[in-house]
């Protein structure tokens, strides 16, 4: 009779957080890992502007050389219209560490996954975790389903939710997402026939309904994202091409960048709310990256934090699985809450710099002086 394969740690979600955790375990312990990823890294991935603080993290994960060999663009110039109508160039909106990179996110995530396999980690592509049951005496039996509809099983001592902002696994296990806004990003990709002119790589422009983000990607396309709240989007039908383009035509500087561009990717709506889980560690499971805590894209902190979080969680997990000591897991959980509180005050400060529309819903919600209510999803 064939035996069910088993690993020490199974991670659902092969984004930066999940792969960082898996790589850390492979590199710095003898524990075994498997990552279950629903795609084949062939989809459009958003979240490309990262600060220079990414490099030491990639060094720790021993992937800095392959990263530098890939096609990512250094960012020397981030410009913002925020709080006034003049264009101001800044090294970054929040991060003070100097110029960063514009990633080809699909290539970046795929590179991390490839390095994991080289370091001995298992990777299930185009596979989802359909069900899981907790085993008597600890651990899990997972029922996996791949894209062709084939089922397989995997046993694991510990389960990690790295599914991103939706926190699919943690919510199934009873955790609640405490969200402080309903921000969404409505994005499009634009292609240009002629070479782009020399211009800021990243531009942020505030508007009454929220703000525009646009950036030149390493492949020469321009990503343009409208960030607004979901009710404002629905009310103005801003997820429809016509209304989105109409609003764009009122954005003084962003509209100039898109001139001559052809839409190559239909509008996509991505949840972008800030949230923290009420509980990111449970019995033989934990959440990491955006699943555990997610920030406003304005901060450009998401990818760096996801990797840091994956590395930190791995260290706590190794101590738990080898020494049966959960002290670091508890500290991990407490740190998430502290990080979120700190983040909220920074977020408040940055949104308060924009006072021109302080009586309009998008800005009022973010700049009111009373503490922001966290609502469970
Ligand atoms: C519009 C927008 C703009 C952003 N801009 C920036 C930016 O400029 N800079 C920045 O640093 N961050 C940005 N972010 C945030 C950044 O994208 C995230 O913080 C980062 O990707 C989090 O990494 P993660 O690994 O936690 O989650 P993700 O990157 O979301 O990865 C989750 C992975 O899990 C997989 N998955 C999900 N469900 C399942 C399942 N059931 N089974 C198997 N696999 C599953 C997904 O396919 C994916 O590979 C932005 C986010 C948005 C929405």
Residues 6+ apart with CB under 8 A from 53: 95, 97, 100, 304
14 lines ligand 1 (CB under 6 A): yes
Residue having the nearest C-alpha atom to atom 1 of ligand 1: 185
For residue 303 and ligand 1, the question of a CB distance below 6 A is answered with yes
CA distance 273 to 183: 5
pTM of full prediction above 0.85 = yes
**Interatomic CA distance for residues 240 and 231, integer angstroms:** 14
pLDDT at 372: 63
Any domain includes 360: no
pLDDT at 191 over 50: yes
For the CA of 305, the nearest atom of ligand 1: 19
Give 194 Cα–ligand 1 centroid separation in angstroms.
Answer: 31
Q: Indicate if the pLDDT at residue 370 is higher than 80.
A: no
Q: Which numbered atom of ligand 1 lies nearest the CA of 128?
A: 42
| 221 domain residue, yes or no | no
Please indicate, yes or no, if residue 296 is contained in any of the structural domains: yes
**Which one has a higher pLDDT value, 188 or 99?**
188
pLDDT at residue 235 in the model: 98
CATH of the domain at 146: 3.50.50.60
Residue 89 falls inside a structural domain: no
Residue 288 inside a domain? The answer is yes
pLDDT tens-digit readout, 33-49: 999 999 999 988 989 99
Q: Does the residue 120 lie in any domain?
A: yes
pLDDT of 196 reads 62
The reply to whether 284 falls in a domain is yes
Is the CB of 100 inside a 6 Å radius of any atom of ligand 1? no
The 10s digit of each residue's pLDDT in 314-363 is: 999 999 999 999 999 999 999 999 999 999 999 999 999 999 999 999 99
Tokens of 91: 């090294």
Ligand 1 lined by 48 (C-beta under 6 Å): yes
Nearest CA to ligand 1 atom 18: 302
Which residue's CA is the closest to the ligand 1 atom numbered 46? Answer: 13
- Nearest atom within ligand 1 for CA of residue 294: 19
Mean pLDDT rounded to a whole number for the chain: 92
Domain count, the chain: 1
Q: Which domain holds residue 329?
A: 6-73+102-180+276-338
Instruction: HSE, CB side, 13 Å, CA atoms: give it for residue 178.
Output: 14
pLDDT reading at 93 higher than 50: no
Q: Whose CA is nearest to atom 27 of ligand 1?
A: 164
Distance from C-alpha of 22 to C-alpha of 9, rounded to nearest angstrom: 8
Tell me if 261 is assigned to some domain. no
Q: What is the pLDDT of residue 269?
A: 96
Cβ(15) to ligand 1 under 6 A?
yes
pLDDT of 263 above 50: yes
Q: Are 165 and 292 in contact (CB under 8 A)?
A: no
């Amino acid at each position: 009779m064939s035996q069910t394969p088993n690993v020490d740690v199974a991670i659902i979600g092969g984004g930066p957080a999940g792969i960082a955790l898996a790589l850390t375990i492979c590199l710095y312990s003898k524990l075994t890992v498997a990552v279950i990823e629903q795609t084949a890294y062939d989809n459009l991935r958003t979240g490309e502007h990262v600060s220079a603080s990414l490099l030491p993290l990639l060094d720790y994960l021993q992937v800095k050389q392959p990263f530098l060999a890939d096609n990512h663009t250094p960012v020397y110039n981030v410009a913002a219209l925020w709080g006034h109508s003049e264009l101001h160039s800044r090294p970054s909106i929040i991060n003070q560490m100097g110029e960063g990179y514009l990633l080809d996110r699909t290539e970046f995530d795929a590179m991390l996954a490839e390095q994991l396999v080289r370091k001995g980690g298992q990777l299930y592509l185009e596979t989802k975790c359909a069900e899981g049951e907790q085993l008597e005496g600890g651990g899990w039996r997972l029922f996996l389903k791949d894209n062709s509809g084939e089922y397989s099983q995997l046993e694991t001592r510990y389960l990690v939710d790295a599914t991103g902002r939706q926190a699919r696994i943690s919510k199934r296990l009873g955790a609640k997402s405490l969200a402080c806004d309903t921000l969404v990003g409505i994005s499009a990709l634009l292609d240009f026939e002629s070479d782009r002119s020399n211009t800021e790589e990243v531009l942020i422009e505030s508007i009454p309904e929220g703000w525009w983000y646009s950036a030149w990607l390493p492949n020469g396309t321009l990503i343009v994202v409208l960030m607004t709240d979901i009710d404002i989007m629905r009310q103005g039908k801003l997820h429809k091409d016509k209304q989105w383009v109409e609003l764009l035509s009122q954005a003084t500087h962003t509209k100039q960048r898109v001139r001559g561009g052809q839409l190559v990717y239909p509008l996509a709506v991505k949840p972008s709310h800030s949230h923290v889980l009420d509980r990111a560690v449970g019995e033989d499971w934990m959440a990491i990256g955006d699943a555990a805590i997610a920030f406003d894209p304005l901060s450009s902190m998401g990818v760096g934090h996801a990797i840091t979080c994956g590395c930190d969680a791995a260290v706590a997990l190794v101590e738990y699985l080898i020494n049966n000591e959960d002290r670091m897991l508890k500290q991990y959980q407490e740190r998430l809450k502290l990080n979120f509180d700190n983040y909220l005050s920074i977020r408040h400060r940055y949104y308060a710099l924009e006072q021109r529309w302080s009586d309009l819903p998008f800005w009022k919600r973010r700049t009111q002086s009373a503490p922001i209510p966290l609502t469970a999803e």
